[in-house]
Chain A
Amino acid sequence: MASDRLQRRLAELDWPTPALDQPELAPGQLWRASWHETAGLVVILGNPSGRTVNVAAASANATGDDKTLVASTGNSMTPTVWAGLTADIKTFTLEHRITDLTAKDLGAVRAVVAGSAPGHWAPIVDDLDDRALVRAELADRLEKLAEAEWIPKTDTAAPRLSDLAKKSGMTASRLGTELHISPGDARRLLQEKREPTPSEVGILTSLFGTTPSGAMELDADLLVEMDLPEFRSALERRAHRLHTGDTIASRRTFAASMTAQAARQRETGRRNWRALIREALHED
């Protein structure tokens, strides 16, 4: 059969084997990054700093500008690295590692980034040069990956729920009655240990005549650890199981549950969030 023949012919070609893992981030790694409707290839340029890591855009498309070069890797892949397109993107957008650049080519990329070496292509001197479109698309992707976020934005202008409750003499037990939740749960809400649900926001708005800020204060270290690519696939599975695929909702509720769980612990000192997250996701 023709299909078998094509399959056999394709099998004779040299197909690379991508790593598809989520190791500790290190310079020179080529990753697939994705978030919602954006995806692309990136080369890690530095060590992560908090929730972000500095990367350069990369592509399978063999074209570039005067700051672009074709890099060699450990598994025969030859991505085109746009050293002139760099950004600090969120680490949670990193999906899996594909391969690593050779040390020599990472050095070459860094030299181009630093401006001490030229790229492999001519500069783009006219917007009608179609390479400008390729560059704009890659810049677009990087910007979207840099702006990706799952933490709710804090509306600094909105009053805090605890302040509104205090001002109107609303106790936790009365708030619980109004919201049809237990007094303990109402207390957690007042202490910003969890976010109000959309229906609770509606009731709170009618109770106080204004919408309180729903932002939950999350531990910065927890965020850094939760954003690690290592946890991404487990959090996505959780999103599909519990939140109809809504990864943002899934991450928010998971962060709230981790915060609540940590609050119950009596130990003092710095928490090992990574171990706590691993344990919680393992229990899932």
Chain B
Amino acid sequence: MIASDKLACGRRGSVPRLSSGTVNYVGGLREAVASGQVDERFLEAARRAARSRVCSRPPPTGSPDWSNEDIDDLVFETISRVEPNQIVLAANEAVNDVQFVGWLRKAILTTLNLRARKTPGGRVIRAMDDALRGGPDLFGLRAGHWYLVGDVRQPGWSQGDAELVATAWGVETTTIQASPRATKTAPLAYRRDIRAVCRAVLELAGPLPKAQLAEVVAQRFNVPFIEQFDYLGAGEGIEDQDVDAYEDGDGTDDVDDGIAARWMLDQLTEEERRVLRLALRGDGVRGISSVLGCTKYRAELLTGRLHEKLRRLAHLTGSDPQEATSRLIELVGQEQQLRHSTTEDGSDGE
């Protein structure tokens, strides 16, 4: 239920401003939303979350700054997209106001990224089409369906996506995660990796509609989780020609260590970057579990994922894996400093 009567009373003063740029959320935001009440506390939190996420992105109206109306439209679009019942559930799932606001910010970031890509699957379809067109001996496109050359089966896969996704995950690839903020290109993964995944899936299913194959590819490369796990957008600095060289790489040519490390940094979740720092400090699984406040099982999972990604980085750079790993560690340090300075500026929200 919306507490519109409360807002009409104009109790905006109940959110005390500590200083410019920072707000101390009045306790009870999470509880209010968890009970289905969306009052001025929620509006304030949502607007602040939106303002903290738009950063340097251009406003949709083309004006130089984001107006209040632009921000309100972004908030409304996010809530409509996520749906109110999921917002109430998320508030019930959060530990406290801070965690709930963190969830809200990720939801808003997802909306911004979806706006940038126009359609959710558009970017994935584009990357997939580019990759499959690069392998004309293997793939063909007919009536909106991708198929394997020589496959005489008619389109007719009716068992759903689950088995296809499982098959896709059976293919080992070099890169794992898309860069969330790259705009010029769509560095989803190596084109040869996309081709390998599509080949395995099409071998199982026969011809598949573009959109369905793209959905499987998106799940294989963790596209739905880009915002949730705070992957970096470090790949923004990579030039187009580097991306082309990188995406077409067949794994035998040397890849510049710096580019590979920068790319790999995109592949680490926020927690994995923390685990890397802790591992460098000499912490084992128990120490990592203690610092992150998680169970041993989860610490083992994070450590295992990090080792696997570093192994792939080493494979990627071929000649000098230690150098690339050192460069990655250096980048993680820079990223940490960047985050620290951003926090000090107070420009990163709450």
Contacts and interface: CB of A to CB of B under 8 A. Distances in A.
Nearest to B216: A122
Of the four ranges (under 10, 10 to 19, 20 to 34, 35 or more), the interface on chain A belongs to 35 or more
B89 A7 contact: no
A130 B225 contact: yes
B118 to A, nearest CB: 22
Contacts of A127: 301, 304-305, 308
B95 A38 contact: yes
Nearest to B71: A2
B298 to A, nearest CB: 4
Contacts of B23: none
Contact of A14 (B84, B163, B222): B84
Interface of A: 2-11, 13-18, 20, 32, 34, 37-41, 59-63, 66, 75-79, 98, 118, 120-134, 136-137, 139-140, 143-144
Interface of B: 1-2, 4, 7-8, 34-36, 38, 40, 43, 68-69, 72, 75-76, 79-80, 84-90, 92-96, 99, 161-166, 169-170, 176-177, 219, 222, 224-225, 228-229, 269, 271, 293-295, 297-298, 301-302, 304-305, 308-309
Q: Would you list the 9 A-B pairs with minimal beta carbon distance, nearest first?
A: A122-B165, A60-B89, A130-B225, A122-B162, A11-B2, A60-B90, A130-B222, A39-B95, A6-B72
Contact of A122 (B90, B99, B169): B169
B298 A139 contact: yes
B36 A9 contact: no
A133 B269 contact: yes
Contact of A20 (B35, B43, B170, B294): B35
B294 A140 contact: yes
B297 A139 contact: yes
Contacts of B4: 7-8, 11
A128 B93 contact: no
A16 B36 contact: yes
Contacts of B271: 133
B301 A133 contact: yes
Nearest to A123: B166
A130 B229 contact: yes
A229 B93 CA distance: 17
